[in-house]
Structure 1
Amino acid sequence: MVNPAHPRASADGSTVPPDAGDGATFADPAESFAVAALEAMPGLVAVVDMDADAPLDQWTVAWMNPAGLAMSGYDRADLTQGRVSDWMGLDAAAPARRALAERRPFTQHTTVRRRDGFLYPAEVSMTPLGPVGDGGVRWLLTARDMSEDVETTAGALARAGADQRARLGLSLVARVSDILADTASNAPLGDIAALLMRRVVGWAAFYVDGPTLHEVDDLGGEPQRTRDLRRIAQLSPDVEDPVRDLLLDSRMRTIDIDTAVDPEPGTVTAELIALVRAAHDGADVIATVLPVLGRQRVLGLLAVTHREADPWAEGARDDDRNPDALAGDVTTVLELVARRVGMAMDNSYLYDREHRLAETLQRAMLPEQAEISGLDVWTYYSPNAEHAQVGGDWYDVLQSAGQTVGLVIGDVVGHDVEAAASMGQLRSVVRAYSAEFGDPGTVLERVDRLIAGMRIPRSASLVYAALTPLGDGAWDIAYSRAGHLPPLLVRGGDVRSLDGAGGALIGFGNRPRQTAHERAEPGDVLVFYTDGLVERRNRTMRDGVEALTRVCAAIDTPDAAGVGEELLLRLAEAPEDDVAVVIVRVPDPVGDEPRSWVSPRQRRWQMPVDPQTISRSRHALLRACQAWGIEDTAAAELVVSELVANAVMHGWGRVDLRLEDTGDGLRIEVEDGNPAPPVTRERHSGRVGGFGLHIIDRLADWGWRPTPGGKAVWARLRPQHSGRVRPTS
């Protein structure tokens, strides 16, 4: 039987519309199989007719399979009265129009509209079946729902995008780690903020809290003065301060700060808003703030503003901004960056604390040298920068009873706090026995016995010398050595090694110690040193001592500081160990008369923060000016006194005094441990102090600069105050 809804074949083999009547039979058994197959097709299958005189987008549906009816939502009666283009979405003005006109197959991706208005993507194909009617063409139309394919493709694209975002985020975090590990970078946090602005955000900056909130570019050391925010929060529990609360929290979370909203005055939030506004030229923005977490507390803040475009999208502009919240994956990257920076800052703070502890311990154990009557004494100590800024090298200058002066220099094995602690114990023992016994050999014997009982874990070497005036300007040198390098006695161009009275390291002496004697004449120089001055990886200890001997033989300067400066310039340019040096020069009233001394044109001294340092600095200045032929020193004495007095009153740690003869003036520099800049007070007759910088300003050009350990204030005397009088030779 012929189904009236099915097409049948004509006598010439072409397909014709189905008959309306029932009871007909198929002309060919194959037709029954083909129609049954079309009926069973899962996608939309339809036979459409296009009249010769009708527009190309007006077609008549002759037949459609059940799956197609279900996909379209129409029934056969509706379809035979409508136009295919109304629901099929074919673009008859595009390449499909040409294919229809040329009666050739084509395929097009389009959007199909169901009867209920639902749209879904589909792949539509049309194949001409042959002529029909008066000049018309019959077409086979198939359509496949591509919703699942689109969803699958969209999911794959989303996963690919997520993978790309993850790779970009990991590469950025890896780059941040590289910046933090780069020891040559002077501003790692500034570099990281610039990296974030190039890659993910519109603007970024790091802030830490001290006396106030301030921006930082480097990891730096832990702030010495910080506010007690927890105490402030307890005193003002009703004050809303979200940035302060973020600093007091120990969780990773983010907050958004709208700079257009006026905060509570005097809060940390108000400080941050002022900083963000200043960074954006006063414009109001919304900033996202993240904590920079250390191991146990928040060390700082990372503030960013947002981009308008997707920061991961290719071609996203760097200057786009967005007031909305950051995307989740960008926030994750920022959290990872903040954590990395926090760990790096925590490690830096930990190292800084250990450094300050070790150096404070070391400096506390070094002597606060006073002026020694009848001798010119210069001392110097520099820890190896590759270690914890502390070691076992030490020296001491002992003003014993009577006129005897004790000199000690030693070296405890190691470069750590334990070495410094052992050095402190040894120094105390030597001081105690030197006050009781005058003979150096006896002192070392008693030190041996006591150290063996104390079980100090580190071995040590030292030289102890006792200098006693002989009454004719000369001095008797009694000394004993415990495994230490022999000191040098320099007389004119002759250098002698005081290698007598040698013995084992301290604690290993099981036999009596010896004492050797030498005579130091006026003008003679004694050089005590540790191995850090002469030992290098590229030369033996013997070669280093020979180099020191050659340098000492060529020295021509009338002050101990000049001798020490010459040694440091020639031998300590790149020390690989701690360096301790003690220079003792016997003044020569005749030989030290003004003449053209060949000596370095700079000097340095290390002094304690003590009122006596002011007087000692003036004496040091006078000796340097004598060596350089500067006779009128009144202005220079005033300047150095004021600079050192300010360092003693307002600084801490150690005072470093440096002088340099520049040829057209005298440059004075004083460094202390206080990083705060010098402040010029307004002059007032009722105020005590505050006039020092005004005095300096009248006599010199001055300024200051930050240093790794604090600050340095410098002054260069103007030519009219340089006091230079060239002596005749």
Structure 2
Amino acid sequence: MTNIPAPSAGVAAGATGPASISKGMVPAEREAAAAAAEVLLTGDVAVVVLNVTSVGPVFTWGNAAFERASGYTLAQARERYGQILSPGYQPVVRAQFAEHAIDGQPFTMTLPLVRRDGSEISVPVTITPMRDETGTLVRFVAVQQGGLEPVATPPPDLGYHSRNALETVARVSDILAEVNDEQALDAIVRLLTRHLYTWCGFFADDGVLKPIGGLTAVGRGAKQGPRGRSAADPEDPVGRLFAATSMRRARIAMDAVEVPGSASAQLVDHVRTQMGASLKPGGELLVLPLLVRGRALGLLAVLVGGLDDAEGSEAVLELVARRVGQAMDHRQLYEAEHRVAEALQRAMLPEQDQIEGLDVWTYYAPNAEHAQVGGDWYDVVHLDDRTVGTVVGDVVGHDVEAAAAMGQLRSVVRAFATELVDPGRVLTKVDRILENMRMRRPASLVYASLTPCDEDAGTWSLAYSRAGHLPGLWISDGEVRELDGAPGRLMGFGIEERQTATVRVKPGDAVMFYTDGLVERRSRTIQEGVGLVREILVDVVAASSSATTAADVGEALLSRLSEPPEDDIAVVIIRFPQPAGQDGADVPREAYWRLAADVDSVRMARRLTVSTCEVWGLANTMAAELVVAELITNAVVYGWGSVGLTLKDAGDGLRIEVQDNNPVPPTPLEVHPARVGGYGMHIVTRLADWGWRPSGVGKVVWARMRPEIPQDLV
């Protein structure tokens, strides 16, 4: 090995060395760099260089601080490199080097070193992989990042294997905290087989013994297999562990003959298949339950035999099993809370009545980072035969309490809206009720009522009142104005009379109400977001040469505001078309059905589509029927809960919307001759322009039919 007395010598070899760094420097910069290198060489921070060789990293050079800390000269350190690192930790350290040699990223760890006098010290370091001009890894540079801590002398009977096991347990905890739930168990298997055992695996009871690699793959109890049995079997040593209420172990000899089909036999067969010719005779399986709160969520199995101190590692293996069990239990508890939150949210999903004479588009999306539950909501409802009410509100928070407060506020607003209609009077009454309810969450909202004007067909009177909420936007005659009248405090803060503002909207106008989640991001202010929305509205509505539907506006907003939302979002867009019976009438015809998540719903949806298209006088009925069938089939097969089907005719083609409660978007599968099915979205793509958007806890898949059918599909 080459001695490296200073950075300008051996360390400079390669593109990352100081020699390459100094290229292009002016004399003053080179002098400053030399001064910095001098401090690094002679200061109190230990620096070590390890060259990469065919046998792994090898100690090459260390500075004066390293010599003082270790008690070794450089020559002694190079000669005794294998003795400097505590022997029980060497495999773990080597594994860390091997992992980061691939990704090339700096990493931190604590190295336990044995000093020349026999004492041990703990050194926190940052280790940086270095590559040459060709990109080949040539060395690691370790720099001390903290003080040196003495390590207590271990008991004399704590040997190499036990030290390695204890370090491995610590690494298991890191994996459970850092690695994705779907990959955590696979990562632990790699760790255990790298340092302790010949083979390792995790299993769950899925009617048969089922290998698992992630925390989310664990079942919620024993399942019946195809022959009516479960992997849990009181007559079988491995099967008994699934019913264990306290920690116990089972040992299964690899050459023993187990009852065919039993969990023990399945486990032995699995290991034999996995190990193949590398399986040595005389091995033994050690199996432990993943125990938590008196129940086993799965099993941990390892292959022992031929390892020093294997008996001493059983206690460590028990610790691993308990920690994995706790992690699985926490995951299940989280999923249970998630399901409760989703059920609550579904019960409180916004509502939109079918409004004759108005073109309405609504959108709701809770922030996915907060358990799919939040405090934003909207309603568009009939207050009486002539009046339509709409409300958009925002209760602070993203948890179950916020959703509960939202439900209370929403119910109160809706009740008084039906009785009083006038927005200012409605919110004043709600304030007084909330004062007695002592709702602990602040809330903002805007409530508006729309009434047709008798003296001017197609014109509507829009009355509204705001409670600490962003102004709505009014698009008219190519301009976007703010509905900033009737401002007021947040809901529940005082009982003073609130005001009502009124405007008249005419055919061709549109209004939009929304919550701040639509416009606010960490990268921009609310004012900047509102300005961007105004620009989009001008582009889509005011600059459009043809009739633009409320859905067109909404989809354009979602596509242009493409950043992931950081808060809940609720949006209502209402467009006022020309009334039916007048020249240029453009009232969109709309039909909506709620269908069960059942195969029969596909046939029903096809019949409804055909009959509706015939009544509306639309062409290409067969193509629309085919698209609806594919979208409804996907919603029934892959969605959750009931399915919503909406057909809209805005004059420029049929628009189809299918809603379900699965948030995962549809994906066209790659065409393959061996695949059965999976071509539905390819058919939809040939016949229509389509897309999707989040909606509530699920999604809406929409399709706009093209006027012509491809000839090969006729």
- TM-score, structure 1 length as denominator? 0.59
Structure 2's unaligned 5+ residue stretches are 1-152, 587-591, 648-654, 668-675, 687-693
Cα offset for 1:503? 1.4
3-state SS in 1 of match to 2:471: coil
Aligned match of 1:430 in 401, 413, 432? 413
Which residue of structure 2 lines up, in the alignment, with residue 313 of structure 1? none
1:254 paired with 2:265, answer no
1:200 paired with 2:196, answer yes
Distance 1:713 1:455, change over 3 A: closer
Structure 1's unaligned 5+ residue stretches are 1-156, 311-325, 594-604, 660-665, 679-691
1:189 paired with 2:185, answer yes
Cα offset for 1:497? 1.0
Cα offset for 1:568? 2.5
* Alpha-carbon displacement from aligned partner over 1:101-129 (angstroms, at most 9, x marks no partner): xxxxxxxxxxxxxxxxxxxxxxxxxxxxx
Q: Is the 8 A contact 2:365 2:570 kept in 1?
A: yes
Aligned match of 2:574 in 570, 584, 605? 584
Q: Is the 8 A contact 2:661 2:699 kept in 1?
A: yes
Cα offset for 1:278? 5.2
Tell which deviates more after alignment, 337-346 or 365-374: 365-374
Aligned match of 2:530 in 527, 531, 545? 545
Counting only pairs closer than 5 Å after superposition, residues 209-288 of structure 1 correspond to structure 2 as 209-210=205-206, 213-220=209-216, 223=219, 227=223, 240-257=235-252, 272=267, 275-276=270-271, 279-280=274-275, 286-288=284-286
1:522 paired with 2:522, answer no
* Alpha-carbon displacement from aligned partner over 1:296-331 (angstroms, at most 9, x marks no partner): 422222222235454xxxxxxxxxxxxxxx822332
What is the alpha-carbon distance in structure 2 between the residues aligned to residue 517 and residue 724 of structure 1? 53
Distance 1:574 1:714, change over 3 A: closer
What is the aligned-residue identity percentage? 47
Q: Is the 8 A contact 1:394 1:580 kept in 2?
A: yes
Cα offset for 1:566? 2.5
Which residue of structure 2 lines up, in the alignment, with residue 506 of structure 1? 491
What is the alpha-carbon distance in structure 2 between the residues aligned to residue 619 and residue 400 of structure 1? 32
Q: Is the 8 A contact 1:360 1:653 kept in 2?
A: no
What is the alpha-carbon distance in structure 1 between the residues aligned to residue 270 and residue 160 of structure 2? 34
The one-letter code of the counterpart of 1:501 is A
Cα offset for 1:424? 0.8
Q: Is the 8 A contact 2:205 2:221 kept in 1?
A: no
What is the alpha-carbon distance in structure 2 between the residues aligned to residue 570 and residue 674 of structure 1? 21
Q: Is the 8 A contact 1:671 1:712 kept in 2?
A: yes
Q: Is the 8 A contact 1:369 1:607 kept in 2?
A: no
3-state SS in 1 of match to 2:242: helix
Distance 1:181 1:673, change over 3 A: same
Aligned match of 1:401 in 366, 384, 387? 384
Q: Is the 8 A contact 2:287 2:302 kept in 1?
A: yes
Distance 1:506 1:718, change over 3 A: closer
3-state SS in 2 of match to 1:248: coil
Distance 1:491 1:717, change over 3 A: closer
Counting only pairs closer than 5 Å after superposition, residues 91-490 of structure 1 correspond to structure 2 as 162-182=158-178, 186-210=182-206, 213-220=209-216, 223=219, 227=223, 240-257=235-252, 272=267, 275-276=270-271, 279-280=274-275, 286-306=284-304, 308-310=306-308, 327-470=310-453, 472-490=457-475
Cα offset for 1:426? 0.8
3-state SS in 1 of match to 2:370: coil
Which residue of structure 2 lines up, in the alignment, with residue 647 of structure 1? 635
The one-letter code of the counterpart of 2:201 is A
Q: Is the 8 A contact 2:519 2:530 kept in 1?
A: yes
* Alpha-carbon displacement from aligned partner over 1:507-541 (angstroms, at most 9, x marks no partner): 12422222222233334332221111222334332
Which residue of structure 2 lines up, in the alignment, with residue 575 of structure 1? 565
Cα offset for 1:579? 1.9
The one-letter code of the counterpart of 1:329 is G
Distance 1:621 1:384, change over 3 A: farther
Distance 1:438 1:268, change over 3 A: farther
What is the alpha-carbon distance in structure 2 between the residues aligned to residue 217 and residue 165 of structure 1? 26
Distance 1:650 1:180, change over 3 A: closer
Cα offset for 1:236? 13
Distance 1:362 1:247, change over 3 A: same
Cα offset for 1:491? 3.3
3-state SS in 1 of match to 2:158: helix
What is the alpha-carbon distance in structure 2 between the residues aligned to residue 618 and residue 427 of structure 1? 36
Q: Is the 8 A contact 1:410 1:463 kept in 2?
A: yes
Distance 1:455 1:700, change over 3 A: closer
Q: Is the 8 A contact 1:404 1:467 kept in 2?
A: yes
The one-letter code of the counterpart of 2:551 is A
3-state SS in 1 of match to 2:490: coil
Distance 1:173 1:444, change over 3 A: same
Distance 1:419 1:373, change over 3 A: same
The one-letter code of the counterpart of 1:503 is G
The one-letter code of the counterpart of 1:289 is V
3-state SS in 2 of match to 1:220: helix
Distance 1:433 1:716, change over 3 A: closer
What is the alpha-carbon distance in structure 2 between the residues aligned to residue 441 and residue 167 of structure 1? 73
Counting only pairs closer than 5 Å after superposition, residues 1-150 of structure 1 correspond to structure 2 as none
Which residue of structure 2 lines up, in the alignment, with residue 559 of structure 1? 549
The one-letter code of the counterpart of 2:296 is V
What is the alpha-carbon distance in structure 2 between the residues aligned to residue 616 and residue 578 of structure 1? 34
Structure showing greater Rg: 1
What is the alpha-carbon distance in structure 1 between the residues aligned to residue 253 and residue 380 of structure 2? 63
Distance 1:516 1:268, change over 3 A: farther
What is the alpha-carbon distance in structure 2 between the residues aligned to residue 478 and residue 352 of structure 1? 44
* Alpha-carbon displacement from aligned partner over 1:157-201 (angstroms, at most 9, x marks no partner): 996672433331222122222222225575111111122122222
Cα offset for 1:609? 6.8
3-state SS in 2 of match to 1:517: strand
Cα offset for 1:398? 1.7
* Alpha-carbon displacement from aligned partner over 1:228-272 (angstroms, at most 9, x marks no partner): 99xx99x99996244443122232222134577676677655665
Q: Is the 8 A contact 2:284 2:303 kept in 1?
A: yes
What is the alpha-carbon distance in structure 1 between the residues aligned to residue 516 and residue 161 of structure 2? 56
Which residue of structure 2 lines up, in the alignment, with residue 8 of structure 1? none
What is the alpha-carbon distance in structure 2 between the residues aligned to residue 549 and residue 534 of structure 1? 11
Cα offset for 1:484? 0.9
Distance 1:411 1:236, change over 3 A: closer
Q: Is the 8 A contact 1:609 1:652 kept in 2?
A: no
Q: Is the 8 A contact 2:232 2:239 kept in 1?
A: no
Cα offset for 1:437? 2.2
3-state SS in 2 of match to 1:583: strand
Aligned residues: 510
Distance 1:720 1:606, change over 3 A: closer
Q: Is the 8 A contact 2:453 2:460 kept in 1?
A: yes
